[in-house]
């Protein structure tokens, strides 16, 4: 086990593409750490640079006490699991799992015994003689994990390890991975573009944009208090409503409506009247009512334009009467709503976030 320390890590690809931009990051010993961000933000490059599969243009990588920036992958004591598992199709499961030990010149008998032991831990004992093509996607993924585990690395690096599985298997594999990581306690860095996966699995998450970290925190911190509008719009199964508004005392004017300002932050209250801000509220922290506006102070009037059935809830899209961007509201599955009806969205003040110049106040 080992911590990972990245200092000023920079990667510039030919053609002047800056994939990592002087990145500083400390990943703790034993941590399950997620790299999250949109396509092209540098997640895979970061993982490959830790693994030594890409060389850094600048900065350093340390694993545990050792600086490994100049070391080849084989000498970094890391194991990487790729999105496509990268199994050898012509080898049996036993030989695939034992392959890293073969490279380390472990005698065949020990290799085979070790492969059988790891396979048993991952529920693969019955498949040792099969080839990858004779296994399901979930089983192939476990073989890839088993191969990574076979030589007890200090660090696991996973590049979208669940993306080739169907939705149900993916949930199962997610729980399995989380339990396995807890049991082994190996420092694990995994890349995903699926924020639900990152929120569910990680101890901490780094959200990347254009080779830089936009926020680093626990899933709860990142979900509850996104540090900037980029993270706010990226995290959450339905994105946060981000409504342009202006300060009016303790209220924020959005269109013609006055909405309650946030509770518990003095920074927003200290803004001068007329200051331009962005009013952030998640769909699940808005209450919907079809009552008349006069009965509903602090609400945004609108008209329902779309109703999406999400199973246990419905997601309403409301076009504000006073113009401005549409907003989304989560309501219970059994609330009677019809497209076209007028309605009001009421923010829960304790969940309101105010952004100024893109950053959370
Ligand atoms: P995705 O989620 O789509 O896999 P990512 O966040 O993993 O994306 P990277 O693959 O790390 O992003 O790519 C970061 C940037 O570097 C992108 O702009 C990409 O086009 C560029 N890039 C990646 N590999 C190379 C390469 N070998 N040569 C030139 N540019 C590259």
**For every residue of 137-184, which 3-state class applies, written as one string?**
HHHHHHHHHHHHHCCCCCEEEEECCCCCCCHHHHHHHHHHHHHHHHHH
Please tell me the predicted confidence (pLDDT) of residue 5. 97
Please tell me the predicted confidence (pLDDT) of residue 127. 92
Nearest to 315 by CA among 276, 274, 345: 345
In the chain, the domains with their CATH numbers are 4-227 (3.40.50.300), 241-360 (2.40.50.140)
Ligand 1 pocket test, pick from 21, 41, 47 with the greatest ligand atom count within 8 Å of Cβ, gives 41
Tell whether ligand 1 has an atom less than 6 A from the beta carbon of residue 194.
no
Tens-digit pLDDT profile for residues 172-216: 778 878 888 888 889 999 998 888 889 989 999 999 999 999 999
Tell whether ligand 1 has an atom less than 6 A from the beta carbon of residue 338.
no
Chain centroid, CA 323 distance in Å: 33
Ligand 1 pocket test, pick from 45, 54, 160 with the greatest ligand atom count within 8 Å of Cβ, gives 45
Tell whether ligand 1 has an atom less than 6 A from the beta carbon of residue 210.
no
Please tell me the predicted confidence (pLDDT) of residue 260. 86
Q: How far apart are CA 81 and CA 87, in angstroms?
A: 10
Confidence of residue 20 (pLDDT cuts 50, 70, 90): very high
Confidence of residue 358 (pLDDT cuts 50, 70, 90): very high
Ligand 1 pocket test, pick from 43, 198, 214 with the greatest ligand atom count within 8 Å of Cβ, gives 43
Tell whether ligand 1 has an atom less than 6 A from the beta carbon of residue 244.
no
Confidence of residue 296 (pLDDT cuts 50, 70, 90): low
Tell whether ligand 1 has an atom less than 6 A from the beta carbon of residue 36.
no
Tens-digit pLDDT profile for residues 250-288: 889 988 888 888 776 666 667 888 999 999 999 999 999
Tell whether ligand 1 has an atom less than 6 A from the beta carbon of residue 306.
no
CA of 39 to the centre of ligand 1 (A): 8
- 109 Cβ partners below 8 Å, 6+ apart? none
Model confidence at 295: pLDDT above 70 = no
Model confidence at 74: pLDDT above 80 = yes
Tell whether ligand 1 has an atom less than 6 A from the beta carbon of residue 13.
yes
Tell whether ligand 1 has an atom less than 6 A from the beta carbon of residue 193.
yes
Tell whether ligand 1 has an atom less than 6 A from the beta carbon of residue 55.
no
Confidence of residue 1 (pLDDT cuts 50, 70, 90): low
Say yes or no: ipTM exceeds 0.95.
Answer: yes
The tokens for 214 are 């936009």
Q: What's the Cα-to-Cα distance from 310 to each of 36, 315, 328, 338, rounded to whole Å?
A: 24, 7, 13, 16
The tokens for 309 are 């059935």
Tell whether ligand 1 has an atom less than 6 A from the beta carbon of residue 17.
yes
- Cα end-to-end distance, the chain, whole Å: 38
The tokens for 225 are 């208090």
Q: By CB neighbour count within 10 A (0-12 exposed, 13-18 middle, 19+ buried), where does 116 fall?
A: middle
Please tell me the predicted confidence (pLDDT) of residue 179. 84
β-sheet bridge partners, residue 191: 35, 159
Ligand 1 pocket test, pick from 12, 23, 44 with the greatest ligand atom count within 8 Å of Cβ, gives 44
Q: What percent of the chain has pLDDT over 90?
A: 55
Nearest CA, atom 19, ligand 1: 40
CA of 202 to the centre of ligand 1 (A): 23
Nearest CA, atom 29, ligand 1: 13
Confidence of residue 335 (pLDDT cuts 50, 70, 90): very high
- What is the DSSP secondary structure assignment for residue 91, as one 8-state letter? S
Please tell me the predicted confidence (pLDDT) of residue 28. 96
């Amino acid at each position: 086990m080992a911590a990972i320390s990245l200092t000023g890590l920079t990667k510039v690809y030919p053609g002047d593409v800056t994939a990592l931009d002087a990145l500083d990051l400390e990943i703790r010993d034993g941590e399950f750490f997620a790299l999250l961000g949109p396509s092209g933000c540098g997640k895979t490059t970061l993982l490959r640079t830790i693994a030594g599969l890409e060389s850094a243009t600048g900065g350093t990588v340390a694993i545990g006490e050792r600086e490994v920036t100049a070391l080849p992958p084989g000498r970094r004591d890391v194991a990487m699991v790729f999105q496509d598992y990268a199994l050898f199709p012509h080898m049996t499961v036993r030989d695939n799992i034992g392959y890293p030990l073969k490279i380390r010149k472990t005698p065949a008998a020990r290799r085979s015994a070790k492969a059988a032991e790891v396979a048993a831990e991952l529920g693969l004992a019955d498949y040792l003689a099969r080839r990858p093509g004779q296994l399901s996607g979930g089983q192939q993924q476990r073989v890839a994990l088993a191969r990574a585990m076979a030589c007890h690395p200090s660090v696991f690096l996973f590049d979208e390890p669940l993306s080739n599985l169907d939705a149900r298997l993916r949930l199962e594999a997610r729980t399995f991975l989380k339990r396995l990581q807890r049991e082994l306690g190996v420092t694990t860095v995994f890349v995903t573009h699926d924020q639900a996966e990152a929120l569910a699995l990680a101890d901490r998450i780094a959200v990347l944009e254009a080779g830089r970290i936009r926020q680093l925190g626990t899933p709860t911190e990142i979900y509850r208090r996104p540090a900037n509008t980029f993270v706010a719009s990226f995290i959450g199964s339905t994105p946060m409503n981000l409504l342009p508004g202006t300060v009016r005392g303790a209220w924020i004017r959005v269109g013609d409506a006055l909405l309650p300002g946030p509770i518990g932050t003095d920074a927003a209250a200290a803004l001068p009247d007329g200051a331009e801000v962005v009013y952030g509220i998640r769909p699940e922290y808005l209450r919907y009512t079809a009552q008349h506006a006069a009965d509903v102070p602090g609400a945004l009037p609108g008209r329902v334009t779309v109703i999406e059935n999400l199973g246990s809830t419905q997601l309403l899209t409301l076009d504000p009467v006073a113009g401005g961007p549409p907003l989304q509201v989560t309501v219970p599955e059994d609330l009677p709503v019809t497209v076209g009806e007028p309605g009001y969205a009421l923010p829960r003040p304790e969940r309101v976030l105010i952004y100024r110049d893109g950053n959370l106040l």
